[in-house]
Amino acid sequence: MKTIIEPFRIKSVEPIYFTTKEERKAILEKACYNPFRIHAKDVLIDLLTDSGTSAMSSNQWAGIMQGDESYAGSESFFHFDNTIKQITGMPLVIPTHQGRAAEKIIFTILGGKGKYFISNTLFDTTRANIEFSGAEGIDLICEEGKHPTIPAPFKGNMDVEALKKVIKEKGPANIPMVIITVTNNSGGGQPVSMQNIKEVRQVCTENKIPLYIDACRFAENSYFIKLREEGYADKSVPEIALELFSYADGCTMSAKKDAFANIGGFLAMRDLDLAIRCRNLLIITEGFTTYGGLAGRDLEAIAIGLQEVMDENYLHYRIRSIEYLTNKLIAAGVPVMQPAGGHAVYIDAKEFLPDIPVDQYPGQALVGALYLEGGIRSVEIGSLMFGKYDETGKLIPAQMELVRLAIPRRVYTQSHIDYVSEVIIDVFNKRNTLKGLTIIEETPMLRHFTAKLKPVQ
Ligand code: F0G
């Protein structure tokens, strides 16, 4: 087997900035141990997110120049609209400025007090939009998905038996929608199998509940199905994606992921009445129905990116590059989510730092240490992001304490990734010296974005 190479050559480069450890110590303190508070210029390798951080292709940049900026009926909208119809098979497409804007619209219309939205795992903004409407979000990840270091092919699957039980308990009339997130971002970027989607569809049909896909990483998920699920090896990624969407009544998507765009998103559906209600809200909050808060050039970049992402040479390299970093860490004994996910490497911070209790946020402590050691920015997906308090003010921790190293698409080369693994292994070797953190300031919702913390004495 030969080395799997980046399936592109580099036409334009961007500098990255080096800092000393002393400088980073001061920066981290000033940022109150929260990576969202660090200036990007002070980061060497930025693995905070794969969202909106992709390198666009020369074709996308050419499309940017050709973007039609007409307020109504822009040609770029029709390019966008036709591409999404073709990929998803859904007849009604609504552009939005990013994924959460699509979520805000759909949950404002279908949410509200007494309603329940059930998912394999809701992403943080999705959950926040559901809760903001007054409704409740329920995550029903399969058993395999709860154990980071035990490998299984489809750890993003929903627990179908639990779904039946919850529907019975809450009543189908109180459940406006079941949502499958592909791949399951908060659960390790793990894929969902076609079989699982079919089974969930069956339960939804029996209970007359619409099924939606959170499609941010649909191409990565489709490629995993091709690799791992029986009967799909000879199908193309567009065929697999079309089948995946065929089981759904609609989808939300952030084009900042699997569309290689720096901004954008959409809602797509089959129900015309619902689409009319969504479009009314869109016009008030986002923009007219043929641009939805985006410039014509963004619509063009998204349309081109959505086609590019389904190229199997790209997906092969993409999935392999995440696996490459995961395998290096496994070989050094670092506890990571296994098998490798589609867009990120997830370190199991609970196992990495067993002496730091969950109410001292081991994940966030590790995020700080990776920055301090090597200028790498990562994000905690654990109790800082998802923790809640009970009536007595005691922390109800998240199911897992993960640190996500999200790999931007087409941005970093193999030597960047080698450096990242060296830094993580260095920190692992001195893990006993790391200290927990305590929160000194926080907001009631999505607190991880702005929270201030300090080391435990
Ligand atoms: N759903 C999933 C599964 C996501 O991962 C995200 C964003 C969204 C919805 C919201 O999309 O950012 O365009 O509003 N995830 C980013 C991340 C922010 O870092 O994983 P958005």
Q: Is the CB of 121 under 6 A from ligand 1?
A: no
Instruction: Indicate if 58-308 has the same CATH topology as 21-50+312-455.
Output: no
pLDDT digits (tens, 9 = 90+) for 325-378: 999 999 999 999 999 999 999 999 999 999 999 999 999 999 999 999 999 999
pLDDT (tens digit per residue) in 235-245: 999 999 999 99
Cα(32) to centroid of ligand 1, in Å? 24
348/335 Cα distance (integer angstroms): 6
pLDDT at 454 exceeding the cut of 90: yes
pLDDT at 410: 97
Identity of the residue numbered 42: D
Element housing 388 (H / E): strand 388-389
Please give the pLDDT value at position 186. Answer: 87
Residue 410 CB contacts under 8 Å (≥ 6 apart), including other chains: 6, 8, 54, 55, 57, 260, 314
Q: Percentage of the chain surpassing pLDDT 70?
A: 100
Which of 103, 123, 404 to probe ligand 1 with, by most ligand atoms within 8 A of CB? 123
Ramachandran angles phi, psi of 121, nearest 5°: -155, 130
Instruction: Indicate which residue's Cα is closest to atom 18 of ligand 1.
Output: 51
Note the pLDDT tens digit of each residue in 268-326.
999 999 999 999 999 999 999 999 999 999 999 999 999 999 999 999 999 999 999 99
Structural domain boundaries of the chain?
A: 21-50+312-455, 58-308
Determine the Cα–Cα distance for residues 238 and 283; give it in Å rounded to an integer. 31
CATH 3.90.1150.10 fits 21-50+312-455, yes or no: yes
Q: Can you give the pTM of this predicted structure?
A: 0.95
Comparing CA positions, the residue from 332, 296, 447 lying closest to residue 380 is: 447
| pLDDT(450) > 90 | yes
Ligand 1 pocket residue status of 188, Cβ below 6 Å: no
Q: Which residues contact 398 (CB under 8 A, 6 or more apart)?
A: 381, 382, 383, 385, 386, 387
What are 230's two structure tokens?
Answer: 């029986």
pLDDT of residue 167: 98
pLDDT score of 375 = 98
CB burial readout 16-45, b (16+ within 10 A) else e:
eeebeeeebeebbeebbbbbeebeeebbbb
Question: Other CB atoms closer than 10 Å to residue 187's CB: what's the count?
Answer: 28
Q: At residue 445, does pLDDT exceed 90?
A: no
| 420 Cα to the center of ligand 1, angstroms | 23
Is residue 149 within 8 A of residue 351, CB to CB? The reply is yes
CA distance 80 to 417: 33
Across 142-161, average pLDDT? 94
Indicate the CATH number for domain 58-308.
3.40.640.10
Query: Of 127, 251, 257, which is best to mutate to test ligand 1, by the most ligand atoms within 8 angstroms of its C-beta?
Result: 257
CB 108 within 8 A of CB 281: yes
What would the mean pLDDT of 103-112 be, rounded to a whole number? 98
What's the gap in Å between 344 CA and the centre of ligand 1?
13
Average per-residue pLDDT in the chain? 96
Cα 405 to Cα 315: distance, rounded to the nearest angstrom: 18
